[in-house]
Every structure is written in structure tokens, then in C-alpha cells.
Structure 1
Amino acid sequence: MNGFIFDNTPIKNLGDCNYKSPIPLSFKDSSLFANFVKDSERVLFDLELDNIREYEGKIESLPSFELAGPRKLLHFEPGKISCGIVTCGGLCPGINNVVRGIVNAMHYWYKCDKFYGFKYGYRGMVEGNEPKPVLLDPKIVEDIHLKGGTVLGSSRGSQDTKKIVDCLEKLKISILFVIGGDGTMRGANEMCEEIAIRNLDMAVVGIPKTIDNDIVFAEHTFGYQTAFSAAVEAISSAHVEAKGALNGIGIVKLMGRDSGYIAAAASVASQDANYVLVPESPFELEGKDGLLNMLKKRIKEKHHAVIVVAEGAGQDLFKGTEVKKDQSGNVLHNDIGLLIKDKVSQFLNKEKIEHSIKYIDPSYMIRSLPAAPIDSMFCSNLAQNAAHAAMAGKTELMIGYWNGRFTHVPIISVVGKRKKINVEGEFWLSVLLSTGQPRYMGDDITIKAKMR
């Protein structure tokens, strides 16, 4: 997938597991109970038989993830631990569901006596920053899954790692749950390094949060399905508007800073998009085979069109502009949606083609939504598996989802990588087949040569 192959980096364990799980499970099939999971159970990275055959005679070397789930023996004694949870980065449907799920799992199953919620991301984990951590329990989180956003608040940007660990030590926290994307996981990894230097008996478990669905070794992340489902409505609205006017053009800009999954998935689901522009697939506006000429031909024939563009697409069109970054170090992209709107209007005016453009950017509306039922269920499973992993003393890991199973993924294996659409894969092919757009829009002879 996108050149990233899991290298079998082992999951770190804090030490001996001497406490029996209070959850009444078994190791037997047909026992009317779900089973405990053994550390030896693995989820294969690649299910393609031809690729598996390459490991004939060395089956133990097959890339695979440790299977997530409840363990029979625990590292931490139930009822004698304090936990913390923090939410970082941009908003995303389902954050509150994960918070609620973790608090409930740790309270009802593992009898956690104190659960701290850190306010506004990592900044709330530095002593002296306001507001102070709040105590969470099932009553406080009872209804939060019905609301969008995060009950704890969020922020971007790094903080002093040593001061964060000082805070954890002072509060005598045994387990920290971290909800966030790549930058957040990078911060969690730095935290883990400091915890290891101090030789603390403290577990850090990450839950991947990215509305763009761009974290590696996770087939999809929570909030993504809610997001692209809501984006379908925006595309449908753009289509109605486009068909309601002579030579109407609907332009929809969606989230997708480095990966265009939301734009692509929503377009396939809606079947109303004619052109989908994502960061992974280059395109040109000008030229014989550029987007503008393609659009002109369609307008003359069909008298309407819908363009869906991910926010990170076409950034090469902003030559000479200053590169700016946000507090987390992410490049702040120029507004490709407005550029396309202006360029399309200028081009059609020059061609003396009457037209009407409707521009829709639903990004902030989408990311603040509560989770759809399918995401809500997914969040619950992520939360439960995070609780199981932490209590077993597993640390420096993220809960992943691979080949339909929840997994343990070392945080170090995730940091600094981005999952992107494989433009030679089945998913992007489905986009091309649903829109009818060519594989490449532009006149670059080097790119065209590669497609022959």
C-alpha cells in the first residue's frame, strides 16, 4: 500500500502480567463466551496468495500485526490505576464517541478509580496552562456521543515533552490515551521516549483520528465514513444547481490536505461528479488536454458539470507563493477551489460561453458533525480495544484496523508517513469509471509517456 509495508516491529510491553482480567471470557470455542486473545495471534498484512508464496519456508517472517482484543492476564491491577485522555488536532466526527467508550470501558470493566480529561490538546497537559484537567466518569460522558466536536476541546502545536511527563507523574497516571493524527502521534512518540528515559510504569495508547483517512496501517479511520457520506449531499446539491442553469457548473471543495479519499469516495458514492481532483493525481488547467478544455467540451455537449476538488490538489499551480505552516508543522495549502472557480470563469468568458458557477465548501460543517451510526460503532470498538491493550501493559502503540480486524501498531511505524490513494489501484479506477474523466488531464509529455 503506497510503498509502505509493515516491518513486524514488535509491540512494547511494560513487564509482567500478574493480574487476572475481571472480564468473564474464555479460550474455548462453543463456550457461549467471546474468547481472550493471545499475543501470538496475528493479522496478515497482505492477503494476496502470490505474495504469501514468497515467504514459503519462512512463514514467521510474513508481515503481520498483533491482534487487538482482551487479554487474560493484565499488567495493571484493576481498581488501582489512574488514567488520562487527550484529544488533539482538527475536529472530526466521532471524537466524543471514542472518549465515552474509553471512559466507560475503563470504569465498568477495569474499575479505573480516577480518569483525567486534559483540556485543549497537549497544551492542557502542561502545568500552569488553563484550564486544568477535569475528572471524567460515565455520568459526565453519558450523552457526549450525540454531539459533534470534542467535549475536551482540542489544539494544534507541540508542547514541552518533559513538562507533559512531569504532569503525568504528578497525577500518578498509569495509562494515557491519545486521540489524534500524525502530528499527535509524533508528540505521543516523543512522550514515550521521555517515559522510557525515566523508567516509568506508564502505558501510552493512541487512537488514530484523521478525517482525511491518511494514517498508514489503518484501512480507515473514525469520522471518515461520516465525512464522505455528508460530502455526498454537497455534491448532490452542486449537481442540482448545475442542472438548474444553462451551462451550470458546480464546484465542491472537500477536505483532503495530502490524500483525496473523501473527495474520491463521495464522488463514487454520489455518481454525480464529472471531474475529481486529488493531490495524488496531477492535472493541468491549460492546454489542449487540460481541465479547462475538457470542461468546455462537456459544457457544449451536456450543458452542465460538477467538479469535486480535494483541498490539497493542484498546489503546483500556485508557483512563487510563500509556503506557510500551521502550529503542527503542516503546510497550509492555497485555496485550490477558488482558483479553479476563477480560472473556469475567466476561460469561459474568454470563449464567450454563457455560464453559471455555484461554489460549495462544506468542510467545517462536515467535520463538526456527530458520528453516523457506522462510525459510532467503529469508535466503540476502537475504544474497547484501546482499553484492553493498555490494561495488558502494552504501550507505544496505536489501535489499527486491517483486513477487517483491530490490531496493535507501533506508533514509531506510523509517525511521518501518509496513506495516499494508489492511482494505479482499484479505488481510483472506480473514480475514473464513475466520472468518465481521463487518467490524466494535461499536456505533460513525461506523464503521458508513463501511461503508454
Structure 2
Amino acid sequence: MCSVSSIKGVGIGFPEQKSFHSKGNYSLFGFNFLRFRRCERHAEKKFSSTVVRAAIAKPEIDFSDPYWKNKFKEDFENRFDLPHLRDVFDIKPMPTTFSLHNRGSQIVSGADLPEDRKNGYVNDDDRALLKVIKYSSPTSAGAECIDADCSWVEQWVHRAGPRKQIYFEPEKVNAGIVTCGGLCPGLNDVIRQCHKRKMKVSVVCVPKTIDNDILLMDKTFGFDTSVEEAQRAINSAYIEAHSAYHGIGLVKLMGRSSGFIAMHASLSSGQIDVCLIPEVPFKLDGPYGVLQHLEHLIETKGSAVVCVAEGAGQDMLEKSNATDASGNVVLGDIGVHIQQRIKRHFKEVGVPADVKYIDPTYMIRACRPNASDAILCTVLGQNAVHGAFAGYSGITVGICNTHYVYLPIPEVIASPRTVDPNSRMWHRCLTSTGQPDFM
């Protein structure tokens, strides 16, 4: 299993084929008609704070080769080429039934445009830039460079949307959608049978995780809503802390391997004094530890509010080999641990402290989506269906630089996306909280 992030799967096949494949919660089987392989679990990668960070995984590059840019582009295009049913099956396209007639006619000299000039369809050769910032130096905030000189190399990915030609007859299609987890063994059997029977099945995934930890994408659906809902918990902790003598509010938010929710919720609330995320190590004890800083806040402000991601500080807790139904390692409860340590510390120093711990858990995702997520879900779903009917398989749909694109599944499951400690957004969060380095 490739343990990265949750992804919804949409499988489309001919009516005589009753099987479909998809993605279960937090484990993905890379369905690819070209290779048709099963992914193995990837160990979570801990990114070091190197000066030069690659935008994406890449092969070893000989920068002394004067043609290295061309070779990089060629390798990138090969990796991001979309698997298609026609690569394996001898199938012919047919005109799409997706109608553009109800979109409002474009008039030229009082007459409708001919069919071949109507816009609305996406050409297979349409591309969107994966990265749009050219960094002048590796020391620029959030710099993602290919070489030490931050050379600019265009990286194009396939644009999503309806095509003029499709490879399935809509009235003869069976579609299966799987959103739940814990189905990995059964889905493996389905994959093997599809391969064995050489079924013409198109599989397109939709990235589903509120953690926002999928590579290459601007954001995943549910993230904006979860950050917005987390404000309720943070505001409650803020009120509790400021209503008590030496009050300390502690909020734990979701984020197993990435701290996007905690970071964005802390920044947007403006009420957090300390934000702790998995990507940035910290110490509780010592002159530069979290506890000493909280003592300073109580002395100077009279209260403090802390936000911690569930995956932060796991090195402080006892390791567990237990896994949940989706195959994830069960994390230690960092929220309870910090709560107990805060109480013990202030008792030892003889300073009274009223600690209130709030853990909203699933409340930040079990709620009505906001308008932004509702629109995102609608367009992702539409483009997933368009991609399947276009004959692509083994791909996922996502949004890159505000444009909807198709990406090969292996490229987005290489590792979890994490917060860059050198990014502008993390710097903004630190400016908002005013916290020091806890090391």
C-alpha cells in the first residue's frame, strides 16, 4: 500500500464488466494500465532543511552536461504523461455527447459559430504550468530549485476538462465510486482480476483529505472548511484562557504528518501564541522550551493559547506498533501529553495555572462544507468523469496554480506533502504568534 493520503476513486467500465477499482482511506493502489502494478508502502520522508529543495522528485542530474535542461524536461514529460486505454487496447474514439449548446451562443455577424469553432472543450495538448515562480536564489523564502543557480525549467502538466472525443458510450457505462477505507485486500483482488481479464476499465481518483498533504496540488477539498471550523475550537480556548486567572488554552487539531490545518487555523484566528506542527521539532523543557515560553506569557500577558497538530512531537511519546483500520500507525496523544506537562510544570514552579484542553477531533470535518469547498468538489468531480470518458486511467484530478489538471497517480503518492519551515506561510504564522524556536 502507498500510505500517503486519502483519495476517492471513480471507476468506469463497460456494462458487461461488473468490477471496478478505487482507493481506500489513506492507502492507494496505483492502477495503471501500462504497468498495472501494486504500490508498496512508502516510509514517510522527513525533509531536511537543505538550501536547495527540488520542486518534485527527480532522477540524478549531471549539471555539467550542457543539455541537462532538455533531459530534465524529457524525463518530466515522460513521468507526467497520462496513461490511456488506447495504449493497451485497440479502441476507437467517438464524438462526445457533452453538449455546449446551452452555454449561450457566440454570435458572429448574426450567425452562430460553426461547431469546429465553438470553445468549451479542452484539447489533449493543453497544458498548465506546475510552478510559476522563478526564484533568483536558493535563499529566497520557500525556494524550490532544481540546481544551485535556481535555473528556470518549464514543467507542464495536462489540463483537465471535457474532450471532443470519448472512449465510452454514456448509456452503456457502469460507474463505481468508493469513498470508505479498510478495503485494501479486496480491492487488490479486483485489480488482479481486471488485469487478468484485460478489462477496459478507466480509473480516475479524486484527492480526499482535509490535511492538505497531497503533493503538487494547491489544496484538497475539505481543507478550507476544516480550517474555518477549527476557529470555533480556538476561539473557545481563547475565551477560556482569557476568562481565567493564569489561563492556558490548548487545542489539538488534525494533521498526522503535516501541519497545514494547525498553521492556517493559527494564522487566521490571530488568537494563538504557540503553534506546534510535525515539520518543526520542538522541546518542552529547558530555557528555550515551550514550557518556559508559556511561563513567560503567563507572567507578561496573564494567559496563553496553544495550537498543536496531532502528529507533532511524536518523538516524545511511547512508540506503538498498532494500526487503525486504514493501516495508519496509531499516534500517541500529544495533546494530553502537553496538557499534563503544562500542569506539572506550573505546579513545580509554584505558579497557579488553569489549563483547558479542547480536542475537536472529527468535528472540524463532520460539518457542512463552505462555499469554496462546495465549488471545488463539484469541479473536481466533473473533471474526474471527463477524464474517465476521455480514456485516461491511473490518474488523479487536482488543482495546480488555480487550474484543474490531471496527474499520474505515482507522482502524487511519492510522499506526503509537508509544511516547508522556510516558506512564507510558516514565517507569517511565526510573526502572528510571536513564538521563538523551541530548541
The TM-score range, normalised by the shorter chain, is 0.7 to 0.9
CA distance in 1, matches of 2:383, 2:254: 28
Equivalent of 1:49 in 122, 134, 148 = 134
- Match for residue 169 of structure 2? 77
Amino acid at match of 2:85: L
1:399 Cα shift?
0.5
Instruction: Measure the CA separation in 1 of the matches of 2:54 and 2:186.
Output: 33
Other-structure match for 1:328: 326
Equivalent residues in 2 for 1:215-234, closer than 5 Å: 215-234=214-233
1:441 partnered with 2:438: yes
Quote the offset at 1:324 in angstroms: 2.3
* 3-state SS in 1 of match to 2:374: helix
Question: RCO (CA 8 Å, sep 6+): is it higher in 1 or 2?
Answer: 2
Residue number among 405, 408, 412 corresponding to 1:407 in the alignment: 405
Please state whether the residue corresponding to 2:128 is helix, strand or coil: strand
CA gap of 1:19–1:61, structure 2 versus 1, over 3 A, is farther
Unaligned runs of 5+ in 1: 89-154, 166-190, 443-452
Are the structure 2 counterparts of residues 60 and 399 from structure 1 closer, same or farther at C-alpha, using a change threshold of 3 Å?
Answer: farther
Deviation at 1:367, TM superposition (A): 2.0
CA shift, 1:323, in A, is: 3.1
Does the 8 A contact of 1:161 with 1:194 survive in 2? no
In terms of mean alpha carbon deviation, does 410-419 or 295-304 score higher?
A: 410-419
Residue 384 (structure 2) pairs with residue 299 (structure 1): no
The match for 1:344 is 342
**CA separation in 2, counterparts of 1:293 and 1:61?**
46
Equivalent residue number for residue 383 of structure 2: 385
Distance 1:338 1:60, change over 3 A: closer
Whether the aligned pair in 1 keeps the contact of 2:290 and 2:438 (CA below 8 Å) is: yes
Q: 1:159 corresponds to which residue?
A: 185
In the alignment, the residues of structure 2 paired with residue 307 and residue 54 of structure 1 have an alpha-carbon distance, to the nearest angstrom, of 37
Matched, 1:18 2:17: no
TM-score by length of 2: 0.73
Letter in 2 for 1:24: S
Deviation of the 1:23 alpha carbon: 2.2
* 1:262 corresponding residue in structure 2: 261
Instruction: Show CA shifts across 1:93-128 (max 9, x none).
Output: xxxxxxxxxxxxxxxxxxxxxxxxxxxxxxxxxxxx
Q: Cα distance, 1:294 vs. partner?
A: 0.7
Structure 1 segment 199-214 matched on structure 2, within 5 A: 199-214=198-213
Q: CA deviation at 1:17?
A: 4.8
Larger deviation, residues 34-43 vs 278-287: 34-43
In the alignment, is the contact (CA less than 8 A) between 1:5 and 1:63 conserved in 2?
no
Assess, with a 3 A threshold, how the Cα gap between structure 1 residues 162 and 234 changes in structure 2: closer, same or farther: closer
**Alpha-carbon distance in structure 2 between the residues aligned to 1:353 and 1:342:** 15
Pairing of 1:72-111 with structure 2 (within 5 A)? 72-88=164-180
1:174-221 deviations in Å (ceiling 9; x for gaps):
xxxxxxxxxxxxxxxxx3x76345422110010110111111122110
Unaligned runs of 5+ in 2: 1-46, 48-52, 58-75, 108-117, 137-143
The structure with the largest helix share of the pair is 1
TM-score by length of 1: 0.71
Q: 1:278 offset after TM fit, Å? A: 0.3
- Identity among equivalent positions (%) equals 36
Coordinate RMSD, CA, aligned:
2.7
Between the aligned partners of 1:82 and 1:36, the Cα distance in structure 2 is 24
8 Å Cα contact 1:246/1:356 also seen in 2:
yes
Q: Which residue of 2 aligns with 1:95?
A: none
User: What is the total number of aligned residue pairs between the two structures?
Assistant: 343
Aligned to 2:159: 67
DSSP 3-state at the match of 1:325: coil
Cα deviations by residue, 1:139-174 (Å, 9 ceiling, x for unpaired): xxxxxxxxxxxxxxxx325223453x2xxxxxxxxx
Displacement of 1:338: 0.5
Preserved CA contact (<8 Å) 1:254 1:363: yes
Change (3 A) 1:418 1:72: same
In the aligned structure 1, how far is the partner of 2:182 from the partner of 2:259? 22
Q: 1:286 to 1:157 in 2, by over 3 A?
A: farther
Distance 1:404 1:426 in 2: 19
Structure 1 residues 223, 348: CA separation in 2 closer, same or farther (over 3 Å shift)? same
1:354 and 2:429 matched: no
